[in-house]
């Protein structure tokens, strides 16, 4: 279950970033999270803290819970 939840999270971060036509670099600037860290999240190498998820969600102008909904 944990792996599928993480996969949903990763896919949704990528999805919402692309929906807003943002590069990792631009999302990094808006969220205050380094581009390298965002890249590691999107590749499944790092799992973001709730605090970082909130920053990403705010930068994408979405509610955090949307990261966990299977599309």
Task: Specify burial of residue 64 (Cβ count, 10 A radius: 0-12, 13-18, 19+).
Answer: middle
Does 7 have pLDDT greater than 90?
Answer: yes
Does 1 have pLDDT greater than 70?
Answer: no
At residue 71, the pLDDT reads: 79
Please state, in angstroms and rounded to a whole number, the distance separating the CA atoms of residues 24 and 22. Answer: 7
Domains and CATH numbers, the chain: 2-68 (1.10.260.40)
At residue 2, the pLDDT reads: 61
In this predicted model, what pLDDT tens digit does every residue of 11-62 receive, in sequence order?
999 999 999 999 999 999 999 999 999 999 999 999 999 999 999 999 999 9
Alpha-helical runs (H) found in the chain: 2-19, 24-31, 35-42, 50-60
């Amino acid at each position: 279950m944990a792996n599928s939840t993480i996969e949903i999270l990763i896919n949704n971060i990528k999805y919402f970033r692309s929906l807003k036509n943002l590069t990792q670099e631009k999302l990094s600037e808006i969220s205050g999270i380094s581009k390298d860290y965002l890249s590691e999240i999107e590749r499944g190498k790092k799992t973001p803290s709730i605090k970082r998820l909130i920053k990403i969600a705010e930068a994408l102008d979405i509610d955090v819970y949307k990261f966990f909904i299977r599309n």
